[in-house]
Amino acid sequence: MTRIAPTEPETGEAPAERRAPRGAGPSGSPRQDAAFSGLALGASLLILVVLAGVALFLCLQAWPVVGAPAEEFYGGEGFLSYIWPLVAGTLIAAAIALVIATPVGVGVALYISHYAPRRLAKPVGYVIDLLAAIPSIIFGAWGASVLAPRIVPLYDWLGAYLGFIPIFAGPASATGKTILTASVVLGIMILPIITSMSREIFQQTPVLQQEAALGLGATRWEMVRMTVFPFARAGIISSVMLGLGRALGETMAVTLVLSGGPFNPSLIQSGNQTVASEIALNFPEAYGFRMNELIAAGLVLFLITLVVNMLARFVVSRYKEFSGANS
């Protein structure tokens, strides 16, 4: 997963500062400079080589899939019919997770950074960070054994009253092991990513700007809307994209929570599957062409994450001019 730089906060007069010390000052001897830039260059080359190696491996292994007859694929109808339900399941699960986690994450972050009394802010932030430290298999086990059975009544209710909407079509799963449950678990898992990153950026909003807003007679919420959100916009997008990357690639939790199957438009019935979970479930027994097929699925997942990240970068860069980085 490619990582997005979080908005480069406090870029205040950074360009000038960054340029100034180079080759100047008593500590920066030219030899040290050369050694360090060599080291940095080496490290970046190494990363590039490793990345290229992984990409090459994926491509080579996935190659046999190209042009193979349709019957050879799992399901017997070619690669496209095999992969699209998995891609759909992956995107649906990740999207629902984001819809849940983004408002909650940003809200909690804002509460911690601007609303909570200081005595409370610390522990709340700490607990959220702890969430990030829980291994995903634990989330999976919790989702499957605790959340799924308890969420069934909600699904029954959705099926009964909102069943006319295709995504809530009944009858609801009796076990609760649906893609919606998996999405909720994913949402909880990416919550700390969004919260801790947003919080950090909220806290970096220049005090001077916040005081400017308050000095004009803004309430705290108006001040947040005038200064904190605009300042943090690129950072929020980055954090959401980071969470999305995690949700797209998350394997263990989905594998444990979802009792998968073919594509199913209803989110409260069993069925649906994600790419990552499909690979995890089938890889141990796979050999020959099946293996190539699963790796090709992995390549598709890789491409999706790549596109998501590039989109995020594009969005972030579009807001650069007005981002506050030049104030």
- Rounded Cα distance between 176 and 152, Å, is 5
Each residue 171-210 as x (binds other proteins by CB under 8 A) or -, in order, gives -----------------------------------x-xxx
Binding map of other proteins across residues 306-325, x = CB under 8 A, - = no contact: ---------------xxxxx
Q: Nearer Cβ to other proteins, position 18 or 225? A: 225
Cβ proximity to other proteins, 141 vs 214, nearer residue: 214
Q: Where are the alpha helices (DSSP H) in 143-271?
A: 148-161, 179-203, 207-215, 220-223, 229-249, 252-257
The candidate with the shortest Cα–Cα distance to 168, out of 150, 185, 186, 154, is 154
Number of residues that bind other proteins (CB under 8 A): 27
Q: Where are the beta strands (DSSP E) in the chain?
A: none
Q: Does 218 bind other proteins (CB under 8 A)?
A: yes
Q: From the CB of residue 159, how many other CB atoms can be counted at a distance below 10 Å?
A: 18
Residue 44 or 326 with smaller CB distance to other proteins: 326
Our CB check for other proteins shows the closer of 101 and 201 to be 201
Cα–Cα distances in angstroms (integers) from residue 316 to residues 6, 8, 165, 206, 230, in the given order:
10, 11, 35, 19, 12
226 vs 306, beta carbon nearer other proteins: 226
Q: What would the two tokens of residue 92 be?
A: 């649906």
Which tokens in the block code for residue 251?
């394997």
State whether residue 30 is helix, strand or coil: helix
Under the binding rule (CB under 8 A), the answer on residue 16 touching other proteins is: no
Q: In the complex, what is the shortest distance from the CB of residue 207 to other proteins, in angstroms, rounded to a whole number?
A: 8
118 touching other proteins, by CB under 8 A: yes
- Under the criterion CB under 8 A, does residue 238 sit at the interface with other proteins? no
Do the beta carbons of residue 201 and residue 171 sit within 8 Å? Answer: no
Report whether 200 contacts 231 (CB < 8 A). Answer: no
Give the pair of three-digit tokens for residue 202: 């909220």
Q: Which of 217, 287, 288, 314 binds other proteins (CB under 8 A)?
A: 217
Among candidate residues 3, 15, 2, 1, the one with its CA nearest the CA of residue 320 = 15
Least Å distance between CB 224 and other proteins? 13
DSSP 8-class letter at 9: T
CB-nearer residue toward other proteins: 175 or 326: 326
Report whether 295 contacts 58 (CB < 8 A).
Answer: yes
Shortest Å distance, C-beta 98 to other proteins = 24
Question: From the CB of 243, what's the least distance to other proteins, in Å?
Answer: 24
In the complex with other proteins, the residue whose CB is nearer, 232 or 294, is: 232
**Binding of residue 126 to other proteins (CB under 8 A):** no
Taking the least distance from each CB to other proteins, the nearer of 205 and 264 is 205
Tokens for 196, please give them.
Answer: 């801790």
* Per CB under 8 A, 7 contacts other proteins: no
Contacts with other proteins by CB under 8 A lie at: 118, 206, 208-219, 222, 226-227, 230-231, 233, 321-327
